[in-house]
Amino acid sequence: MDKKRRSLNKAFIAAPLLASLPLSSALAQQTTWPNGNIKLIVPFGAGGSVDRFSRGLASHWEKTLGGSAIVVENRGGAGGMLGARTFMGAPKDGTVLFAGIQPTLSMNIVAQDADFTLDDFVFVNIEQRDFSSITVRADSKYKTIQDLVNDIRANPGKIKISMVPGSGTYLFGLAFVKGLNLDVNIVTFNGGGAQRTDLLGGHSDAMIASAYGDMVLGDKVRVLAVSSLETFPGWPNAVPITKAYPELKIPAIGDNRFIAVSREFAETNPKAFEALVQSYQKAFNSPEYQDYITKQGSILISAYRGPEQSKQLVQELHDVVVEFKDTLKGS
């Protein structure tokens, strides 16, 4: 009886101690991934670029997970802020992933005063680097980027250039204008569709847009320059802007679509995080997925870079967002 009572007393003493342990202590036991179905939060509505990327990846990735499903959940609102906050409030056990866009994430943090930071995320991979473009109509008088810049300088404040605030292309546009000290008439749109319609209608002289996205316009437009450091395969005649103007000290700015996990999960479960990264890399390199992105055309902007290179790219773009903090807050 005394032995039984002592056992019970030990159990009662141990129970509150176990209950007081932080959740991360329990999560530290996790060494494999996945351990069930996965939710992939997309901070924008269905049908957009990051949604299409996420659903295409999820449908191929889940085939390699031995029965676990990846369910895409759209949480659009406030320029991506709502979805990021939803992710921040989700379980930190690897069952919830985040599909976002950089520098939009940094714009949430810097320009919208988010209650989270870049340090709350660990980036599995920036898969798509959708570079910015400086584009005119095919019948434009501007044949080169120098033609456009020279005309802007000859007619300060009169040349109309359209941009979409909140995007990586907008950040590139600001860096381009400031870096060359140009006085232009900036016209803004809520999305790329309306922006392209405006350009084709002859209302703006040029637009700062997406090099990959502009490909749907075909021979209706001429891309004068791109933000990539090397020639963009989709527009072989478009010069990289930093080669045309070496004095522009800016990184290759555009919309970078990524997959991320919470830092708490990655740091308390390093083996499970490594398993997740390896699983993603296997899915990305699979013949089926490579065939899929080839047919979609997105292979032009897709690559496996891994957590370290992705982290570096994210930080480079974050630094540019910080530089234009005041302008972004006013837009």
Which CATH number belongs to the domain containing residue 46 in this structure? 3.40.190.150
β-strand pairing of 206-210 with 160-163: parallel
- Whether residue 84 lies inside any domain: the answer is yes
- Asked whether residue 205 falls in the same domain as residue 226, the answer is yes
Tell me, what's the pLDDT at 330? 75
Domain count, the chain: 2
In contact, 94 and 269? CB cutoff 8 Å: yes
Domain end (from 181, 215, 244): 244
- Asked whether residue 172 falls in the same domain as residue 219, the answer is yes
Q: What range does the domain containing 324 cover?
A: 32-129+255-330
Positions in the chain whose pLDDT score sits under 70: 1-29, 331
Tell me, what's the pLDDT at 8? 40
Q: Which two tokens stand for residue 169?
A: 């292309």
β-strand pairing of 96-102 with 38-42: parallel
Tell me, what's the pLDDT at 15? 44
- Asked whether residue 52 falls in the same domain as residue 111, the answer is yes
- Whether residue 11 lies inside any domain: the answer is no
Cβ count near 296 (within 10 Å): 13
Tell me, what's the pLDDT at 177? 97
In contact, 60 and 286? CB cutoff 8 Å: yes
- Whether residue 23 lies inside any domain: the answer is no
Tell me, what's the pLDDT at 93? 96
Q: What is the CATH number of the domain that holds 153?
A: 3.40.190.10
- Whether residue 87 lies inside any domain: the answer is yes
Closest CA relative to residue 123, chosen from 140, 106, 110, 108: 106
Q: Going by C-beta distance under 8 Å and a sequence separation of 6 or more, which residues neighbour residue 250?
A: 172, 175, 176, 179, 227, 241, 242, 320
Tell me, what's the pLDDT at 119? 97
Tell me, what's the pLDDT at 5? 46
Q: How far apart are the first and last CA of the chain?
A: 75
Instruction: State how far the Cα of 273 lies from the Cα of 271, in Å rounded to an integer.
Output: 5
Instruction: State how far the Cα of 198 lies from the Cα of 162, in Å rounded to an integer.
Output: 9
- Whether residue 226 lies inside any domain: the answer is yes
- Whether residue 261 lies inside any domain: the answer is yes
- Whether residue 269 lies inside any domain: the answer is yes
- Whether residue 15 lies inside any domain: the answer is no
